[in-house]
Amino acid sequence: MTAKQICMGFMGLLLFSVINAPQVYAGPPVHVGILEPTPAVAPGTRAGACFSLFREGKEIRAYWDMPVHIGDEIRPRKKGCVLLVYVRTGCKKLEISRNTTVRLPEEITIAARHDRKEGTKLLSKGSDEACPCFPPDLLCFSPLPENGSTILAGEAVLFRWYADPRHVAPCAKVRLVIMPPDKTSPRIEEDMQAGELKTVKGDFKPGEIYQWFVEKPDYTRLSEKYGFSVLSQKDSDGIRGQLDHIRTLYADASPVLYQALYLQFISHAASGRELNLYPDSLRLFKDYLDETDIAFRLIENLKRHYEKNKP
């Protein structure tokens, strides 16, 4: 599959986040699915009679409805016995008839291999001469991170804000202010431009909630206050472990893009528990675009796709 098909799959999930972004976090569903018996399995049949499961090379006790992670190996003992049911709605159930390594479902990955194409390099400065600091249209989300976003502990955070040009000119000098949860700690200040995609590598403490806003150089407030929470260190490390497995499984097929898809996948699957890792997914996607040559026509296609799906 081509880079265009890969990116279109990514944007389909990204658009879901923009329209239906969850607001509060309550624990990460690191697993991507569960194992269920097929309708042919007689009631009372033990799971261990149907399959065995290996994680990190070690066998795990089998039971029905057990969660499975990226990289787990399912070994069926007989055909027509066990189903992999993905936690994200809309993904078909997968009957396991042979030894299978758990991956992301085909419905969201779309591509098996990324092939680089000759084309225009995506520039972080954007394509509009009137807005030279803007990122490509593909990354022009604001505010970022939105209210209720969840950030992996120990990772940089992407910020972007732009509103009405009557209030502030594109790329005008502004100040990003991040308020620590501890009222006694000084606020974090970063110079930025209105509409710029700003990366901040701050010392954000796991398990804490931060607020941020944008102001003029004279300290006049320009934006509302927005909040994001930092995932606990334990949960962040668990998710990073899955990202490491994805890097290995998809080593020949744009692993950074698949990592971004995984973060969206578990965010969507947690709609009842309200996990929102889309900002981290977008951070990875930005890295992917920064390192990839993609034709400008692709950006135009994605822009039209976004306009078509806006609420």
Q: Looking at residue 1, which CATH number applies to its domain?
A: 2.60.40.10
Q: What pLDDT is stored for residue 302 in this prediction?
A: 40
CB 218 within 8 A of CB 189: no
* Residue 109 covered by a domain: no
* Residue 130 covered by a domain: yes
209 and 98 housed in the same domain: no
CB 94 within 8 A of CB 107: no
Beta-carbon contacts of residue 231 (< 8 Å; ≥ 6 apart)? 25, 28, 150, 151, 152, 153, 206, 207, 239
* Span 85-98, pLDDT tens digits: 998 777 889 999 99
Rounded Cα distance between 278 and 270, Å, is: 12
137 and 272 housed in the same domain: yes
In the chain, what is the straight-line distance between the N-terminal and C-terminal CA atoms, in Å? 29
* Angle of CA points 83, 13, 229, to nearest 5°: 100
Q: What pLDDT is stored for residue 163 in this prediction?
A: 82
User: 301: part of which helix (H) or strand (E)?
Assistant: helix 296-309
Q: What pLDDT is stored for residue 25 in this prediction?
A: 36
Give me the number of domains the chain comprises. 2
Rounded Cα distance between 302 and 294, Å, is: 12
Q: Which residues pair with residue 210 across a beta bridge?
A: 228
50 and 10 housed in the same domain: no
The domain boundary residue, chosen from 54, 74, 103: 103
Q: What pLDDT is stored for residue 105 in this prediction?
A: 87
Around 89, how many Cα atoms within 13 Å sit in the side-chain half-sphere? 5
- Give the start-end residues of each E strand in the chain: 33-37, 51-55, 58-60, 66-68, 73-76, 82-86, 94-95, 100-101, 149-151, 157-159, 173-179, 188-193, 198-200, 209-215, 226-230
83 and 26 housed in the same domain: no
Rounded Cα distance between 91 and 94, Å, is: 9
27 and 42 housed in the same domain: no
User: CA distances (Å), 150 to each of 19, 65, 210, 252, 253, in order?
Assistant: 17, 27, 10, 29, 27
Q: Which residues of the chain fall short of a pLDDT of 50? A: 1-4, 6, 10-27, 110-127, 272, 295-303, 305-306, 308-311
Q: What pLDDT is stored for residue 293 in this prediction?
A: 53
Q: Determine how many CB atoms are found less than 10 A away from the CB of residue 240.
A: 15
25 and 44 housed in the same domain: no
Expressed as residue numbers, the domain containing 128 is: 1-31+123-311
**The two structure tokens encoding residue 239:** 């998710």
Q: What pLDDT is stored for residue 29 in this prediction?
A: 61
CB 267 within 8 A of CB 277: yes
* Residue 207 covered by a domain: yes
